[in-house]
Structure 1
Amino acid sequence: MARIVLATALRPAAAHAKEIRVSAGTLEEVLSEVGSIHPQLYERIMDSAGVRRFVNIYLNDEDVRSTGGLATEVGEDDVLMVIPAVAGGSTEDGDLHRES
């Protein structure tokens, strides 16, 4: 089975699992299976247009956007890493919304 490794920020949507094992197939099929197991996780990864803009998925360390997107074949021994983009920060005193 293919292995999906989840970034820490996504784990609460997957019952705090660090990884999920699913059947091989296309990335779209793999993510559909993820959705049947963890619907909240699926919603964090996908939207009506496909993989959310700020979610990065790597197949064996290669960005799936450059390997065929949802049509990318995922093999039984492959590893997918799902990583949401993280942005933000704070000022020195911790104020996130300080205006100049």
Structure 2
Amino acid sequence: MVEVRLWSGLRPLVEGRDSVAVEGRTVGQILTALRRDYPALGPTLDAGVSVAVDGKMIASSLTEPVGEDSEVVLMARLKGG
């Protein structure tokens, strides 16, 4: 299981929790598990989110590996400007 910390704006979609645990060994597997286990996150995930693994922003690699002890943070999509 991987603990995924959620940005404050996403917490209402998971009953106010600041983190949830899901199964997954890659960013893509984690996003799939979040969609399955927390359907309210689906529209937000579909619109796009930003994911950080161990302090590194993952731009678009769904195959980025994630270990059980990795720090994973899910937040609203960060936009440049």
1:97 corresponds to: none
Deviation above 2 Å: which 4+ runs of structure 1? none
- Alignment length, in residue pairs? 79
The 3 A distance-change label for structure 1 pair 59 and 86 is closer
1:12 corresponds to: 12
TM-score, normalised with respect to structure 2: 0.83
Q: What is the rounded CA distance, in whole Å, between the counterparts of 2:42 and 2:28 in structure 1?
A: 11
RMSD of equivalent CA atoms: 2.0
**Rg larger in structure:** 1
TM-score, normalised with respect to structure 1: 0.69
Q: Is this contact kept in 1: 2:24–2:33, CA < 8 A?
A: no
Structure 1 unaligned regions, length at least 5: 88-100
Structure 2 unaligned regions, length at least 5: none
Q: Deviations over 1:17-50 (max 9, x none)?
A: 1101112311111111111111111321234xxx
2:40 corresponds to: 40
Higher relative contact order (CA 8 A, sep 6+): 2
